[in-house]
Structure 1
Amino acid sequence: MNIANKLTILRVCLVPVFVVVFMTNLLPAPWNRYIAFLIFAFASYTDHLDGHLARSRGLVTNFGKFMDPLADKLLVVSALICFVETGEMAAWIVIILVAREFIISGFRLVAAAQGVVIAAGIWGKAKTVVQMVMTLAVILGLPYGWYGVIVAILTYASVALTIISVVDYIWKNRSVLKEAD
């Protein structure tokens, strides 16, 4: 197993660690949030790093193509579900963000069955960056009024980019749906 795939597995293993640290009182507040922030930030960085290593060193594998996006979804969706549990995010927001991931994953499966590989678009990349920053901001949870405004802006920007990216993705690749009939 190459280093890129090991980083992907590490990211998957960090998901339950993040959840336990964020959701329990193993560490006194606010240290649980600070440590959860660091875990999520590091896990997010491993996504960038494993992709870079895989491409630059010719380490792209079928395992990586399958597990890397799955690891990302596990990490982000776990955090979003924690936010609903703690009351820091409305369920409808999480449903929109998670539904997009299911839609795109299903779409990619249909495309793959046709031998088509669909690259991530600029809107999807922007959505990912804003969503990661939003997630880190919610995890940190600083108790300042202005901070709540920033989190709200990031949250609504994430929702908007999620909707734009899924519409853009489907529109640009609508031929895949036509061929699926």
Structure 2
Amino acid sequence: MNLANRITLARIFLVPIIMFFLLVNLDFEPIVVGDFTITYNQIIATLIFIIAASTDGLDGYIARKRKMVSNLGKLLDPLADKLLIAAVLISLVDMAKLDAWIAVVIISREFAVTGLRQIALLEGTVVAASKWGKWKTAIQITAIIVLLLNNFPFTFIDVPFDLIASWAMALITIYSGIDYFVKNKQLLNF
């Protein structure tokens, strides 16, 4: 197994660890600054999430640079991305930090685009990541980090950035999904 695929597998293995820290109460005293409160669990989960999310670009870069692109990597990389995002979104819903409809919209879009990519493979083509798909990923990661950190540091200046980021995440996800289907409508035989 090559280095790029090992990095991707590491991202997959970090998913349950992130969920553990988000969903299991370890009874440490939370950090409290004025009205702002955060648990050590959230901080640890956020740091692991940032590490896991950063490996997405790293494994792809290494695979292309060292000519390690493999069928296993083509399968594992998008799977790892979707597992990471879906698991954290579901955890945020469970923690009452994200509306369930936003998580459902995002996860549904991921299933739909994955289905489109499968149809493309059956037709012998590849649906490449679009610029909107890349923006979607960046905004999702940013929104998730802010949600995991209880709107830090924006809570101190009374800006509901977590709410703004949640809506931005939902809207860009919808738009990028529509963009994929419009640009690849020839794959759909209605």
CA shift for structure 1 position 87: 0.7
Residue identity matched to 1:9: L
1:16 aligns with 2:16: yes
CA shift for structure 1 position 26: 2.5
Q: Which residue of 1 aligns with 2:64?
A: 55
CA shift for structure 1 position 92: 0.7
CA shift in 2, pair 1:53/1:102, >3 Å: same
Residue identity matched to 1:54: A
Residue identity matched to 1:173: N
Question: What is the TM-score normalised by the length of structure 1?
Answer: 0.94
Distance 2:134 2:11 in 1: 19
Identity of aligned residues (%): 40
CA shift for structure 1 position 145: 6.2
Distance 1:64 1:33 in 2: 30
Equivalent pair of 2:151/2:160 in contact (CA under 8 Å)? no
Q: Structure 2 residue aligned with 1:36, among 22, 42, 45?
A: 45
Question: What is the TM-score normalised by the length of structure 2?
Answer: 0.90
Q: Which residue of 2 aligns with 1:83?
A: 92
User: Which runs of structure 1 show a deviation greater than 3 angstroms over 4 or more consecutive aligned residues?
Assistant: 145-148
CA shift in 2, pair 1:23/1:171, >3 Å: same
Q: Which residue of 1 aligns with 2:173?
A: 162
Question: How big is each residue's C-alpha offset from its partner over 1:8-64, in whole Å with a ceiling of 9 and x where there is no partner?
Answer: 110010000000011112262321111111000000011111011001110100000
Q: Structure 1 residue aligned with 2:163, among 143, 146, 152?
A: 152
Alignment of 1:56-135 (within 5 A): 56-135=65-144
Q: Aligned to 1:127, what secondary structure does the other structure show?
A: helix
Q: How big is the alpha-carbon RMSD for the aligned residues of Structure 1 and Structure 2? A: 1.4
Equivalent pair of 2:132/2:176 in contact (CA under 8 Å)? yes
Equivalent pair of 2:117/2:127 in contact (CA under 8 Å)? yes
Q: Structure 2 residue aligned with 1:137, among 136, 143, 146?
A: 146
Distance 1:35 1:163 in 2: 30
CA shift in 2, pair 1:146/1:104, >3 Å: farther
Q: Which 5+ residue runs of structure 2 have no aligned equivalent?
A: 31-38
Q: Aligned to 1:101, what secondary structure does the other structure show?
A: helix
Bigger shift: residues 140-149 or 28-37: 140-149
1:173 aligns with 2:184: yes
